[in-house]
Structures are given as C-alpha cells and as structure tokens.
Structure 1
Amino acid sequence: MMKASATLTIGRKTMIGTLLGAVSLGMIGSTAHAVSVPDHIRVALFLDLSSKYQALTPAVTLSSAGGMKLTWNGAAIATVNAGKSVRFAVDGYRAIILETDDLAAATSVLKTVQRSTNAALLIRLSKNGKTVYQVTEGNYANAAAAAAAVAKWTNAGVAAGVKSLSAPVVAGPWAVEAGPYANEAAAAAAVASFGALGLDAFVSQKLTGSTPSYYVRIGQASDASALAELKNKAASVGVPILIPDASAAYVVLRNDLTASGTPDAAVPLYALSASAKLLAAPVNAGNGILVTERSKRTYRGNMELSVLNGDLALVNDVPLEQYLYSVVGSEVPGSWPLETQKAQAVAARSYAVFSGTGFQIADVVDTTLSQTYNGIGAENANSVAGVNATAGEVLTYEGKVIDAVFSSNAGGVTADNATEIWGSSTPYLASAAQSPDAGPQEGKLEWYKVALSDGEIGYVRSDYLVYSGAKNEAGIPLYASTGDGVSVRPSPQTAGAGANPIAKLYKNDQVVVLDKVLEYTNYNWVETFTADQLANSINKRAKSKIGSLQTLEVSQRGLSGRVSEIKANGVPVDVGVPDNLRGALGSLKSTLFDIEETGRFSVVGANGAQKNFPTEGSASSLQIQGASGAAVTAGSSNLFVLNGDGELRAATTDPEFVITGKGFGHGLGMSQWGAKGLADQGYDYQSILQYYYKNVKIEKDGGE
C-alpha cells in the first residue's frame, strides 16, 4: 500500500510539470475528421450478464406523457394515448396457477405469488359466456420447466380453497389461428365467438408480407400434439382454422390486470413470439418514454422490444449525444466544474463508440457494467453543457477510438492494466500516475478507533473524545466522552452499512484509543471480516476451494501498489484476473489495500519460547498469567497487547481480518474525483484527459 502522504495531495507546481509532459505526447487531434462517431446508440436495459444474455424482468410497462406509437417492421400497429400504459412480455411457457371467475380471489392469489417472484400476471379473458381470470407465472424455457412450476405452486397451496374453473396447467406458445380480419374490432368479435366455446382466444397480429394483419390466436397449448383437437373444436364457429407455421413471427394481445386489479382498467399486454420485434416511439420526443420496472425512469429516444435467448429484451435506441446527457449526469455530480463534465463527456463518448455491439443486440447496458445511464431524470444543465461543448469528440490511439474506461476514485494513484487489473497490455492504460482524489475527505473529521471497557472495538468521531489526563493500569492513556449518547460505530462513518451504533458513551465515559483514522469514504475506507465470511466469499470465486481460513496476506502488488495476488493459509488464491479480488474479498471498493490479521501474532513466554498464532494443526490456546500468578485461557473476545515498540494493538484469538484501502473502482484510466481535483486547480478537459490516458489524441467526428 502506498503511503497516504504520497497520494493525498498534489501541489499545483508538481502537477504542472507532469501535465505538460503528458500533453506534449499527444496534442488535440492534429488529424481532422479521422474518426467516425455514430449518431445513435443502442442501450440494453435489464440484462443479466452473469452467464448468458438474460432479462431481469419478465414484463415491461411503458408509457409517455404525450402518447406513443407502436410499430412493427415500420408499420403502425397501435396508438397508446397520453399517460396510458402498455405492457410487453414473451409468449412462452407459463404455469397457469388459477382460472376463476372470482376477481377478488384471483387478485389474492396473484399477490401471494408476487411475494416470491416478479413473473406473475393476471389476465382477463372471456370463456363460456363469462369473464374469467387467469393467474399465470413465469416465462420458462420449455414445457417441462413450466410443469415443475405448476407442481411447485400446487404443492405450496397458493390457490387452496379458491373456486377454480380448471386444474392448474402448463400454458405454451402452441395455438391455431383464424383470419386475417379487416381490423382489430373484427378480430375482437371473433375472439368472443371462440371464447363462447370455452377456448382461450386472443387478438393477434402477424406479418402478411411486410404488413401487420389481424388474426385470432386460439389456445395456449404446451406442445403441437394438442393442435389437431384445437383446430377441430374451433372450426365449429364456421370459419377456416389453420395451424400456423411455428417459425412465423406474431404478437398476441392480452388484457392485463396485474397492476390495476379492476375489471375495467386492463392494460394491453403484447406477448411476443421469438422472432417478433416491436418499436415504441413517443409522439412528442420531448416527453420521452417512462419504464415502470426501471424505477419509473423516463428515457429519450425509442424503445425496441424483442426476444433474446427466450427472454424479453428492451433496448433504448437514442441519439448518442442525448444518451451522454444522462451518462455524464449519472456519473458525476452536476455541481462539479464544467471542465470535469467535458472530460467525462469525451471519455464516455469514447467508451460508447469503442464498445460497438458488445452486448449482442446493443452497444452498451445501462449499468456500471458499461456506464451508468439513468434516463432524463439524471440530466442537469452542467452535464448537457459538457456534452454539447465537446460534441463529436473522442479519444484515439494510433487512429482508433480507445476503450476509455474510468472509475470513481483511484485512491491517489491510477492502476496499471497489465499487472493489476485485467492482465492485458493496453498502452494508453499502462502507466500509473498520481491522482488528486482526496476530495471525498474534504470537511470530514478524523475518527478514533477505541476499545470499550467490555473489550468491544469500535469507532468514535474525534470531536466527541478528549484526553482525560488519566491512564489505565498498563499505562495506556484514557480518553473521555464529551457528551451523552455518543455513538460507537463498527466503522468510521455516520451513514451506510457500517454506521449502526454498537454502543453508546455517556459524558466522561472512558475508552482506550487504539488508532486515529480518516472517515470512511470512497477515498479511504476500512472493512472488517470474520474468517468464515471471507472463506465463503473466496470459495464462490476461487478456482480451488479453501478450508478453514487461518491466515490471509498480500503476496504480490503491481506498479501502483494494488494487490495482484493474495495467499490464504499460505497458498496463492486463483480468482482469474487481479481485479476479481475485489469480489472475492467481500466486494471491496478497490484492490489498493492492506490486510491486518488480528488473529496473527507471536507471544514470548516466561521461558523465552515463542508461540505463533494461529497455531496450524493444533488446538492449543493462549494462556494469560495474571498478577496473582493464576493463568486463564483467552476466550473469543478481543485481546489488547503491546508490541516490542510499546504500541497497543487489538488482537483476536480467532482469525479476523481488517482490510484498509483507498479508492473506489478498478482505478484504470480517468479517475472522476481526480478529474474534479485537476479542474479545481484550473486545468482544462483536454489536459485532464491526456493526463489520465497516455499518448492519446482528442479528435472530432469526421461526419461533421
């Protein structure tokens, strides 16, 4: 770990020389119009990339204050009125848990199922001359998986005691069809006729050539074997019934009561086949489209609905510069200097252009897996100004747009990709550089790490303790509380997971001070783990499992001081690339850290023999001899020992680990807090970018 004194502050004179050296290597685009920057970008929402491209939501609800147009293959299929919602899902395999004519009962079952999953729907349809309600769950890959779900919900008794019109069953995408019909009204009238026979029937649309036409889709069968019987029964209506080509694209229109729960407040639900693709566009572009399931955020541009790997896919097709309004506003505070906004805009634009179609059907995603994009609500005047002032500008290296990665806070020094993060040699991400990242500490007080009278260890803000003038029996100074109800916290912070008090101090209560530390921020932080917590976390990510964790130590560091290898119980832990250590060690903020092993210490006995803890392969314990000569066995509570220099240290008989570190994120490329620090010192965005990305040029879109 690099010393704080080397990274906390960087003087203006020192930085000037460093920046001039960086700028001289790559001045602003001397080759005009050398690159091409696209006008639009495709942003995938809801994608889970842990194993394959999978959606995180089974249904999407869209609306727009000015109304929307739905199109398929460029042809209009529906108009959604201002402020009204429309939903989309996949016409796949589902569990029909309940079919009843009792709406209240159906709503109750729906709510029960929703406690366990977000894949439950309440659909209204007409059968046998009455209105009925189906509670369905899931979008499953096949009929067998849906059948297992039917059994699960049946065994759980979620619909027990409810009047049901049919037994729980698997619903699937197999159906017969009638049509085409002249319009939606004609198709809806035909639906009523088929429903009177007790059949599940819905208005649908499919392409005739390149034009959408209205049909009626009859049945929700789980396989093709049911189609002949469905066809014969539906034919009694007196119209031709066809078994459609299974590969033909279609959408089914259902009446969705999931959100409203009232009979006359149904929301149109378009269930898409595997090859269907719809586009929702706001009538007034200035209104944007609200996505209910994405925290009710509103987005510029259009929304494309399709099916990817059997799941619903939602892609926001938006002008690149307008996308950046939100990215910059999401990534850095609007109160930060304009030059920081500009630097972020160019970095984000470069990253987006470099990505290409990196996500199969999209260029980027809306999370930090790419860069944060929270829609129109994240925009602010400064983010818009920063994007507009740098319109079309990207960073290039040897004529190609770079992968301009960035992180929140480099902890005072940027990372080296080859030795510390992802293990690749990227020239413009190779050199570690000092970074003025200490901004999160501004205005923050220091904290005391203290030991309470019962042996508990915690943190107290420094303005709540004063030296009492007294010492304990071991000659250790005692500090006293200056007020009543002073919180002792497990971490030096007043907000967050580590902020809940573990004890309270009252005026003149005395404690022993073990250390004085900075407040927990994205620049400086501390985390404490038990051996079991870290062992479980490591075993989820390491290629070889570890047993009981006794020791954990840093065994290798890279150029910036970031940890590139750790050893558990003396054996290197293989988690792949070094940056994966963050996740393997309980989701640390960065890999710029030190490990303190509180259970690791040596004791010299009265006979001069040295004993090392933890003692591997032995159950021997630590015996402590008191002033009376009696020996006691140290328990599981904290120990407080003096080292050879007379410094007091907290130790534990069981292995525990205190990890202290700096920074937030991988630390490659531009540090956002560092960019702010440079802008505060008067540097422009070009100098900031060319400091963090080595030997690059800033070039303008060749299309302008």
Structure 2
Amino acid sequence: MPLVVVRLQPLVSLGLSSLGLSSGLLLLGGTHQAVVAAREPDIRVLLQESEQISLRADADRPFRLTGPDLGRIDLTRLQIELSSGGLSLVMEEAGAPADRPMRRRLPTSAQLRLETDDPRGLWLGKRRYGGSLRLLVHKGRIAVVNHLGIEDYLPSVVGSEMPQEWPMAALQAQAVAARTYALRQRGRAGLFDVQATVASQVYRGLESQTPRTLEAVQSTRSLVLVHAGQLINAVFHSSSGGATEASGEVWRSQLPYLVSVPDHDQQSPVHRWETRFDADQLRRAFRETGGVERLEVLESSTTGRVRALRVRGPVGVLRISGSELRQRLGLKSTMVEFNWLAAGEGEGEPSPSTPPSQLSSRWVGFLVDPDGDGISEQLSPPPPLPQQLRLRRRPQPVLEVRGRGYGHGVGMSQWGARALAEQGAEFRQILQHYYQGVEIRPFRPSYDPAVARLPQLEPAWRG
C-alpha cells in the first residue's frame, strides 16, 4: 500500500489533544500509522547546582520572575541563597534604584521560573542562556534547569564539543549525533534530561553558538540516528588512536551499531602521546598497594586497549579495569603500553597527562552505561597511604606510559570525522561509517519502530 498523507483538522476535534500537539500530519502506510509532531521537542538541561545563584539581564532588557507569593516581577538582577532551611532572594526591579533592592524569603519547596524576550539571553554567572530557567531546591542545593527547544540547544553543543572552524560535514555529523543522544535521554530523569557537562554532552550557552554551528544544526534539522526502529546510543570521543572500539570490549553489552572500524585521526594532537609517573605519584594513585612495582596486563581488546590489569606493589596486589587505571592516572585513553625507566632517565619532571582543551570527551573520568543511562558509577578514592610508607625514601624507577587516542574510543571519533570531511565525505557517510547499519531519519515522538522506518525525508517539525 503506498504512503498516504492526510492533512488533519484541529487535533482536539479528532480526540488527539492528549498528545500535546496543536496540528500535524497523519501518516498511513500498510498497517502502521503515526502522528508527526507539529513543533520541536523541548530539552531540560541541568546547568548548575550550588548554594548561591546569581542572575542578571543583559543591558537594559529586564527578565520576568514568576514564583509563589511573588506573582510576576520584572527584574534586572537576582541573587538567591539557600540558608537556614529557606531561600533568600535579593531582587533589583526594573526601573527601581539599584541601591534599594527588594528582599524576600521563600520555603525550599518554592519553584521559580525566569524568562526573557531578549535574544541575548539571561546571564547565569559568566554565561548567557536562551529559553527559560527553572530554579528549585534539589538534594540540598539550588538547581538551575534550562528549558529550551532541541534545535535551540544544539548549536551551543556543537560549538562546545567541536571547533566551529572545522569542515561543515564534521559539524553536521556532530549535530546529528548530539541530537540523537539528547532526544534519547528525554524523560529518563525527573528533574532534567541532560547535564551541561561531560557527564552528558557539553553545553556552554549562547557563547558557544556561532553562524557555522547554527548552519550545521539547521541543515540537519530533526535528523537522528536510528537502528531497528530505536534511537541509538550515539556516543562519541575525541580520537581513537587508529581504530574505534566495539562497545562490548569497553562496557557490558555489545550493541550492533557500535563495532570497531578504522579511524582517520592521524592529525589529532593526541593520536600518539606519552607521560611519566614517579614513585610518589604512583604511591598516591595506588595507596592500597603502597605504589607500583609491576603492572601485568590481564585482558586487552582486539584493538589493544587495556581491559584489566594486575598492579603489584610493596604491600599488596590489586586487580583493576582499564577504565579505573585511566581515572587513577589521568590517562587520555586505555590504549596504552608501559615501560620502566631508571630514576632520572629522561628530561623534565614526570606529570600526569592532561586532556586537550580543544575538544571535550563526553565520558572523561566516569564509567558509562552503554545503554544510554549516563553515568553508572563514579570510582571511590583509594584508602589512605600507610604511615610506614610515607617515611620511606629510596630511588625508584619511573613509569612511562605511551598511549594513543583520547576518550573511550567507542562510536564517532571527532578527529576522524574531521579527516573524512576534509576528504570529501558528507555527514551521512561519516555517521554511517562510525555507527554501522544505522538509518538517518527525522525524529518521531512515539518511538514506534514502524515510524522510524517510514520513508519520509522532510523535517519532523517546522521552525
């Protein structure tokens, strides 16, 4: 049966108001049908959690504050502090003298909403954000959650995760991957969908939005990555070191689209790297064993990443995963080799590796759930160093670590995407190289597998 497109009348009259849509299309194909969203989905981004929040308008355009016992107030500045079991507000009203602020006290159950019509956004600390902000107390701190449309959120993510001067095809690939990840996370937590940090994907507000990142988002509007009718877990990383990793080699399950593929990240500044650790640094990193005398790799992936190893020290033996080794030593990746140098061999002081400032890897320092649930756990700090070992001072060899790549190595390599784009690949080719067997389709809100397979290439929502 061919695809039939039927224009709907107002949805309330058709009994579809429960879907939250004001207008739309009904798509009929075979036995399947679905409603296409008439407006883009919203995303809730956790920006900050602290005991004190400072917000202000940009120049002379006030913002609106709405809350219990406040009604609606136009403000130019707002300071909120959590103290003595309540919220203390200091507000500068629009048109009122700045030296005569209004003060209010609210219970911790109060929820506040801030909105502005200013395209320059609202200042939170040193960054500006569009959309609206919601403030509420969460786990003993004031949480600031940014509510905005997914297409307004993405230009900042692309500019935060990838240099905006990179080829457009690479930026477009980043936009589709970021959109897929964010939409897959919607509704999974009560307060927010994603965080603004590497715990999800980096979002720095309007400062990271540029004409080129806007173009990357607008030219891929509503497109997402789908496998077997479901949004994929679109993880990405900075640089793989020559070959991406299969998800099952790093995490607990092997996803069919996250398999190892050749990478093209040779231009990456972290394609090859090395770092050194002296005895004191190793004792601090491995307090349970009193330092490191020997490292034995027990399991490696097919690409050479360390999966498990045994650490032998003066006072004990410890088995850890490659991810834990990476966190303890601050390594860029787990694709590493070890070499012992005599004390004093090699110039310069040993120092732990530091991540490159140009790119951010989504999962630095965390163990990740490859099924898309975000952080599965954070590693606990090791126990205190035994007193007798603090008193020992004797020359010991230096551990040299030579590695490749930066990040977990699963999914799209950002430096590889850049190289493919420079070779003439367009964003669909880049994405289908790193995410094997996926389809690139407009997003559908029902998550119905049949909907994801519908052969419609127009955006799922309009601007």
TM-score of the superposed pair, with normalisation by structure 2: 0.71
Query: Match of 2:142, SS?
Result: strand
Query: What SS does structure 1 have at the residue aligned with 2:177?
Result: helix
Q: How many Å separate the matches in 1 of 2:254 and 2:69?
A: 45
CA distances 1:228-266 after superposition (whole Å, capped 9, x unpaired): xxxxxxxxxxxxxxxxxxxxxxx654479xxxxxx9636
> Deviation at 1:669?
0.4
* TM-fit CA distance, 1:297: 0.8
Counterpart-to-counterpart distance in 2, 1:69 and 1:368: 30
Residue from 290, 307, 326 that aligns with 2:123: 290
* Structure 1 residue 74: Cα displacement: 12
Cα distance in 2 for partners of 1:67, 1:639 equals 59
Aligned residue-pair number:
360
Equivalence map 1:47-62=2 (5 Å)? 55=49, 57-62=50-55
- With over 3 angstroms needed to count, the CA separation of the structure-2 counterparts of 1:526 and 1:365, relative to structure 1, is same
Aligned residue for 1:677, secondary structure, equals helix
Task: Give the drift of 1:597.
Answer: 1.6
Provide the residue aligned with 1:70 in structure 2. 65
Using the TM superposition, give the Cα deviation of residue 358 of structure 1 relative to its aligned residue in structure 2, in angstroms. Answer: 4.3
Aligned in 2, Cα 1:680/1:360: closer, same or farther, shift over 3 Å? same
Larger Rg: 1
Q: Deviations over 1:631-690 (max 9, x none)?
A: xxxxx54499xxxxxxxxxxx961320111111111110001100110111111111101
Deviation of 1:598 (Å): 1.9
Given that 1:89 and 1:272 are in contact with CA atoms closer than 8 Å, whether structure 2 keeps it comes out as no
> In the TM superposition, what is the alpha-carbon distance from 1:538 to its structure 2 partner?
3.6
The answer for unaligned runs of 5 or more in structure 1 is 1-30, 47-54, 94-171, 174-250, 257-262, 441-520, 540-544, 600-635, 641-651
Match of residue 109, structure 2, among 275, 283, 297: 275
Match of 2:251 in 1: 422
Q: CA deviation at 1:360?
A: 3.7
CA contact (8 A) 1:437 1:673 kept: yes
Which of 658, 663, 684 is the aligned partner of 2:405? 663
Residue 40 (structure 1) aligned with residue 42 (structure 2): yes
Label 1:581 to 1:422 Cα distance change in 2 as closer, same or farther (>3 A). Answer: farther
Conservation of the 8 A alpha-carbon contact between 1:350 and 1:404: yes
CA drift of 1:333 comes to 1.0
Question: 2:179 matched to which residue of 1?
Answer: 349
Aligned residue for 1:530?
278
Secondary structure in 2 aligned to 1:427? coil
Per-residue deviation, residues 417-443 of structure 1 (Å, max 9, x unmatched): 212x223222222x2111100123xxx
Alpha-carbon distance in 2 for matches of 1:678, 1:563: 27
Find the counterpart in structure 2 of residue 6 from structure 1. none
Q: Which residue matches 1:98?
A: none
1:376-395 counterparts in 2 under 5 A?
376-395=206-225
- Counterpart in 2 of 1:88? 80
Q: Render the CA deviation track for 1:568-593: whole Å, top value 9, x for unaligned.
A: 11887444x54332102x21111111
The 3 A distance-change label for structure 1 pair 553 and 271 is farther
* Post-superposition CA distance 1:138-196 (Å, at most 9, x none): xxxxxxxxxxxxxxxxxxxxxxxxxxxxxxxxxx55xxxxxxxxxxxxxxxxxxxxxxx
Are positions 1:591 and 2:339 aligned together? Answer: no
Residue pair 1:44, 1:314 contacting (<8 A) in 2 also: yes
CA separation of 1:598 and 1:64: change in aligned 2, threshold 3 A: same
Q: 1:546 to 1:279 in 2, by over 3 A?
A: same
Aligned pairs for 1:189-200 (under 5 A) are none
Instruction: Label 1:265 to 1:670 Cα distance change in 2 as closer, same or farther (>3 A).
Output: same
- SS of equivalent to 2:257: helix
* Structure 2 stretches lacking a partner, 5+ long: 1-31, 348-393, 445-459
Mapped to 2, the partners of 1:568 and 1:62 lie a distance apart of 49
CA contact (8 A) 1:88 1:269 kept: no
Task: Give the whole-Å Cα distance in 2 for the aligned partners of 1:73 and 1:311.
Answer: 19
* Matched residue type, 2:325: L
Cα pair 1:366 1:373 within 8 Å, conserved: yes
- Hey, what's the Cα distance between the residues in 1 that align with 2:346 and 2:44? 57
Give, in angstroms, the shift of residue 298 of structure 1.
0.5
Question: Does the Cα contact within 8 Å between 1:89 and 1:269 map onto a contact in 2?
Answer: no
Question: One-letter code of the match for 1:424?
Answer: S
Specify the alignment match of 2:455 in structure 1.
none
Quick one: distance in 2 between partners of 1:582 and 1:562? 11
**Shift in Å, 1:89:** 2.5
How far residue 38 of structure 1 moved from its aligned partner, in angstroms, is: 5.3
For the Cα contact (< 8 Å) 1:327–1:371, is it kept in 2?
yes
Structure 2 residue 158 is the aligned partner of structure 1 residue 328:
yes
- Report what 2:378 is aligned to: none
Distance across 2 between alignment mates of 1:74 and 1:322: 31
CA contact (8 A) 2:80 2:89 kept: no
CA RMSD in angstroms, aligned pairs only: 2.9
- Please give the residue correspondences for 1:672-687 in structure 2 after superposition, counting only pairs within 5 Å: 672-687=414-429
Distance in 1, Cα, partners of 2:141 & 2:200: 21
Cα distance change of structure 1 residues 32 and 694 upon mapping to structure 2, 3 Å threshold:
farther
- State the one-letter code of the partner of 1:59: Q
| Structure 2: distance between partners of 1:32 and 1:321 | 26
Within-5 A mapping of 1:510-521 = 521=269
1:317 lines up with 2:147 in the alignment: yes
Superposed CA deviations along residues 259-305 of structure 1, whole A, max 9, x for unmatched, are xxxx9636556654231100000133x1211111xxx1111111100
Is the alpha carbon distance of 1:390 and 1:341 closer, same or farther for their aligned partners in structure 2, counting shifts above 3 Å?
same
Report if the CA contact (8 A) 1:348-1:404 is conserved: yes
1:568 matches 2:311? yes
CA contact (8 A) 1:637 1:653 kept: no
Letter in 2 for 1:658: E
Name the CA distance, whole Å, in 2 between partners of 1:35 and 1:410.
38
Moved more, 31-40 or 545-554: 31-40
Residues 687 and 531 of structure 1: is their aligned pair in 2 closer, same or farther, counting only changes over 3 Å? Answer: same
The separation in 2 between residues aligned to 1:391 and 1:400, in whole angstroms, is 18
Higher relative contact order, chain-length normalized (CA < 8 Å, sep 6+): 2
Residue type at the aligned position of 2:158: V
- Determine whether 1:363 maps to 2:193: yes
Name the CA distance, whole Å, in 2 between partners of 1:340 and 1:561: 27
Distance 1:58 1:41 in 2: 24
Cα distance between partner residues in 2 of 1:677 and 1:270: 55
Partner of 2:265: 437
CA contact (8 A) 1:32 1:699 kept: no
Secondary structure of the equivalent of 2:298? strand
1:43-93: per-residue Cα shift (whole Å, max 9, x none)?
A: 0012xxxxxxxx3x211111122210011279843111xxx3211222x43
Letter in 2 for 1:660: R
* Aligned match of 1:489: none
Cα distance, 1:266–1:405 mapped onto 2, change above 3 Å: farther
Identity of aligned residues (%): 32
Q: 1:88–1:305: 8 Å Cα contact kept in structure 2? A: no
> Structure 1 residue 567: deviation in Å?
1.8
Q: Is the 8 A contact 1:397 1:696 kept in 2?
A: yes
For 1:393 and 1:685, how far apart are their aligned partners in 2? 11
Q: 1:81-119: CA deviations, max 9, x gaps?
A: xxx3211222x43xxxxxxxxxxxxxxxxxxxxxxxxxx
Normalising by structure 1, what TM-score?
A: 0.48
Q: Which amino acid aligns with 1:353?
A: L
Report the more deviating stretch, 547-556 or 265-274: 265-274
Q: Deviations over 1:572-631 (max 9, x none)?
A: 7444x54332102x21111111111225xxxxxxxxxxxxxxxxxxxxxxxxxxxxxxxx
- Letter of the aligned partner of 2:66 in structure 1? T
Cα distance in 1 for partners of 2:45, 2:91 equals 29
Query: One-letter code of the match for 1:591?
Result: T
